[in-house]
Amino acid sequence: MLREEYDLLVVGGGPGGSTAALVGAREGLKVLLVDKRQEIGTPVRCAEALGFEQLEPYIAVDDRWIAAWIDAFRIVGPSGKSVRVPPTSPTAVVERKIFDRELANEAARAGATVRAMTRVTDVIRQDGYVVGAKMISLGREMEVRAKITIAADGAESQIGRWAGMKTTPRLEEYYSAAQYLLGGIRLEDPRECQYHVGNEVAPGGYAWVFPKGPDKANVGLVITLTHEKHGRSAQEYLNAFVERLYPEASILTMNLGGIPVGGTLKDIVGDGIMLVGDAAHQAEPVTGGGINLAMFAGDMAAKVAATAIRSGDWSRKKLEAYPAAWNKEHGRAVGAMAKARQIVLKFEDKRYDKLVDLAADLPLDKMSATDIILAVLRHDPSLLLYARGFIIPGI
Amino acid sequence: MTNPSRSHILIMVNRDRCGICGCCVPVCPPDAMVLHDAHLDIDHDTCTECLKCIPVCPTNALYQVPADSVLLRRT
Ligand SMILES: Cc1cc2nc3c(=O)[nH]c(=O)nc-3n(C[C@H](O)[C@H](O)[C@H](O)COP(=O)(O)OP(=O)(O)OC[C@H]3O[C@@H](n4cnc5c(N)ncnc54)[C@H](O)[C@@H]3O)c2cc1C
Ligand code: SF4
Ligand code: SF4
């Protein structure tokens, strides 16, 4: 059996893990980044819309992974009424296949060791601490010892659970997603991302059309299904949506996945371990967008790891600096959106249309998606009925 | 691997439908789903028959069958 030792082991070469490895290496740590995939970035499980605010420290914009720049978002209500919303930061639909691989390469360039096709099969625990992990690397068994392990293993996350943390999402707080990359279509505006809401389109979720050029688009949806509501699957809803909008389309790729959208987990650190990105339920709960947030979390976790290792103490108590930083910067907003999501989830179609009407009257060019949703909730007093029992800041 | 003394139903995976997305793995409370590179397995000894996994699957690849029907088919 192969045995190796590092300061920091990062599991998962998605945006969260690669950023953690990159920042950890820059901080001078000896870092190993592993991913079970044969090729980092594939298969894609994402609609690939990315806002570029605050990404410069990690990766420079590169045409190779820009599929389409976006001028506007359009929210389409059940009746077909719609509202156009300008983005608050430069936004593009990217090629995550290339983006994820290049971000992993940034980590490698900063000095981290990166290994694809390396699947973690269990964590190693000693005296209550996570002290590394067992893995199968390119077909060989390997045991890696590390002072700190960062689990950035995505929505399918197992590492946190193996470390004894509570990570199981509730069904009401989990998006089930299906998406096609459609080809041979004609987009009216190839620089506009569309969000379609309504109970027929996507119960407890929404459908999207994100262009990747004039004749190609990621077309997909998320739904929330519970035992009671279980009927058609995400893919069946998607087939109906595609049949209605693009009956002539060809299916170039199919992607499936899940997104935990209940807001950040209560415990995202333990002795010698930190959870980052979808593994920590850090995606924005209404849209399910999590690329940037995973990267910001990866940055914060790696910096806390470096400080902890330098101080010789990486107990849970010491690592609590990471959730503290996260909650201050993003966690509270993510939590508010998780609550907003529970309200929006229960809308009847009439109410979605009203939401579109209300949004049309707002100064949209100055507002982020979070601002808009909170403002709409605030502007319609009847919506407060839905908000009873929830604490949304500012209502 | 089945546990006939306890199982009333078995959760099965339709492999023609399963896209190996792993979406069902984290929602399973007892961690009974095992995602391999090319397929998903369910450890029926660990499964508590809670049925949480069934609605989250984006392709409806998970379904339940009476346990005895499967035992009969296997022998
Ligand atoms: C259909 C869909 C559409 C989405 N659209 C958008 C969007 O348009 N914009 C947006 O911002 N977000 C979107 N998201 C969310 C976004 O994809 C995630 O939030 C983001 O990828 C989270 O990054 P991450 O680094 O936490 O995890 P991931 O990107 O999921 O990376 C986790 C990595 O860990 C690896 N891994 C898992 N287990 C192991 C193991 N045991 N050993 C080794 N490696 C392991 C996996 O192979 C994977 O590469 C979408 C999600 C879905 C499902
Ligand atoms: S959620 Fe469905 S498609 Fe995804 S791994 Fe599970 S059974 Fe397969
Ligand atoms: S029925 Fe429950 S315990 Fe069994 S595999 Fe599905 S989620 Fe897991």
Three-state SS annotation for A62-97: CHHHEEEEECEEEEECCCCCEEEECCCCCEEEECHH
Q: Is residue A62 part of a domain?
A: no
Strand partners, A174: A260
Question: Looking at beta carbons, which residues of chain A come within 8 Å of B32?
Answer: none
Q: How many CB pairs under 8 A join A and B?
A: 81
Looking at the 3D structure of chain A, how many domains does it have? 3
Q: Rounded CA gap, A350 and A20, in Å?
A: 44
3-state DSSP helix/strand/coil percent for chain A, to nearest 5?
Answer: 35, 30, 40
Q: Verify whether the Cβ–Cβ distance B57 to A233 is below 8 Å.
A: yes
> Mind listing the pLDDT tens digit of every residue in chain A (395 residues)?
899 999 999 999 999 999 999 999 999 999 999 999 999 999 999 999 999 888 999 999 999 999 999 999 998 999 999 988 888 789 999 999 999 999 999 999 999 999 999 999 999 999 999 999 999 999 999 999 999 999 999 999 999 999 999 999 999 999 999 999 999 999 999 999 999 999 999 999 999 999 999 999 999 999 997 755 668 999 999 999 999 999 999 999 999 999 999 999 999 999 999 999 999 999 999 899 999 999 999 999 999 999 999 999 999 999 999 999 999 999 998 998 898 888 877 788 988 888 888 778 777 777 766 676 667 666 655 554 444 434 333 33
Distance from chain centroid for Cα A231: 26
Asked, for residue A333, whether it belongs to a domain, the answer is no
Smallest Cα–Cα separation from A31: which of A110, A135, A117?
A: A110
- On whether residue A70 sits in a domain, the answer given is no
Q: Is A138 left (phi over 0), alpha (psi -120 to 50) or beta?
A: left
Asked which of A288, A319, A350 is the last residue of a domain, the reply is A319
State which fold the B9-69 domain adopts.
Alpha-Beta Plaits (3.30.70)
Same domain for A363 and A251? no
Considering the domain architecture, whether residues A158 and A185 belong to the same structural domain is answered as no
- Of the residues B42, B57, B62, which should be mutated to test ligand 3's pocket, given the most ligand atoms within 8 Å of the CB? B42
Question: Does B63 contact A at CB distance below 8 Å?
Answer: no
**Would you say the ipTM is above 0.90?**
no
Name the residue range of residue A221's domain. 172-260
Same domain, yes or no: A154 and A277: yes
Measuring CA to CA, how many Å separate A119 from each of A12, A41, A249, A291, B36? 9, 15, 36, 22, 10
β-strands A2-11, A140-151: how paired?
parallel
Burial of residue A362 (CB within 10 Å: 0-12, 13-18, 19+) is middle
Q: What is the residue whose two structure tokens read 């459609």?
A: A182
